[in-house]
A = this chain, B = another copy of it.
Amino acid sequence: MPQRIGKYTTRLDSSPSVLGFAAIASKKEGEGPLAPYFDVICDDTAFGEQTWEKAESRMQKDAVNKALEKAGLSCAGIDYIFAGDLLNQCISSTYGLRDLGIPFFGLFGACSTMAESLCLSAMLVEGGLANTAAAVTSSHFCSAERQFRFPLEYGGQRTPTSQWTVTGAGAAIIGRKSVPPYLRALCIGTIEDMGVKDMNNMGAAMAPAAAATISRFFEDTCTGPDNYDLILTGDLGQVGSALLCELLCGKGYTLGEKHNDCGLMIYDRKKQDVHAGGSGCGCSASVLCSYVLPSIREGKLQDVLFIATGALMSPTSVQQGESIPGIAHLVHLSALPNPQQKGARH
């Protein structure tokens, strides 16, 4: 039985496993430091499709199929799939996954989607509502640019705080099998809004949400940064990461070298012109499913907190003078399952 620990955290007593995972990336990501870890690197940013939106759909489908293959499962063996993306009406997910025939839950969590979909998958498995569930998300630099900012042909100048949307996708299959990585606990975020209005500084808009979720998790579980090998935020980039560390320092937690950010890991910022780092749903998804999950499976990392962050705005809300709310969901991934507690309830 799941156990609520404290106010916000749920301990997954059955410790659902990540049975399979896969990450798809494109040219620029393939030139970055994580190149050896992606399952597929497609130098054609159109992935052989006629539009960037269709390319993004293709990435989601390929990521799910690859993850299934690696888990030794087929679509028929998956009870539910949770998917979402950044595009209006989440068309990357709906068109990408329409042929799979898996009962489908559409999500919108912006760049927090990988954590949101993992959490819901794990919750259904933990609660006995599913034997297996899949979590998938994606982003594409070109489809995001033209939807959120300018036509690519315009060649708009980018501010130093801006981030580069990752062209990539990640998928994970969750189920009950005694194989690492295990999902041991999760903490669902609330919407946080500190009044940041700069659409070119999403990291700053999302950092307060990450700080809120991480500090709640530490409080609920009576743990701190020392208990984990890696505290990995989604895509705060350089500006947001610095702000997160500052905010958590104010709450008495020093992240120090335990912290890293998917947006800082995916590109080599000295060589690749990505300003404050990577972003997009596909950023945390592809970093998690390429480098992090295998490292846990192989025992190189023992305990990881994965906190994907999302900026819950739209160009319309920004044009109407609104600030940018953020959200962050946390998953505790581990090489070991939770210790068995017979009949114990918090």
Contact = CB atoms under 8 A, between A and B. Distances in A.
A208 to B, nearest CB: 12
A5 interface: no
Interface string A47-87: 00011011000000000000000000000000110001011
Given A2-B128, A95-B325, A90 B108 contact: yes
Contacts of A100: 190-191
B317 A91 contact: yes
Contacts of A294: none
A8 interface: yes
A89 B1 CA distance: 34
Nearest to A187: B103
Given A80-B188, A188-B80, A316-B53, A106 B116 contact: yes
A127 B123 contact: yes
A196 to B, nearest CB: 13
Contact of A88 (B50, B95, B316): B316
Contacts of A51: 320
A124 B126 CA distance: 10
A248 to B, nearest CB: 19
Contacts of A10: 129
Contact of A94 (B50, B86, B103, B312): B312
A94 B129 CA distance: 27
Nearest to A3: B128
B107 A327 contact: no
A188 B82 CA distance: 12
B116 A123 contact: no
Nearest to A8: B103
B123 A188 contact: no
A54 B84 CA distance: 24
Given A89-B317, A106-B109, A120-B120, 20 more contacts: A4-B79, A53-B320, A84-B106, A88-B315, A88-B316, A89-B110, A94-B327, A95-B317, A95-B325, A101-B190, A105-B116, A105-B120, A106-B107, A106-B108, A106-B312, A107-B107, A124-B127, A126-B129, A127-B128, A127-B129
Contacts of A190: 100-104
A322 interface: yes
Nearest to A75: B190
Nearest to A110: B89
A1 B128 CA distance: 7
A316 B188 contact: no
A87 to B, nearest CB: 7
A107 B104 contact: no
A256 to B, nearest CB: 28
B127 A327 contact: no
Most B CB contacts (10 A, CB to CB) among A4, A100, A188, A189 go to A188
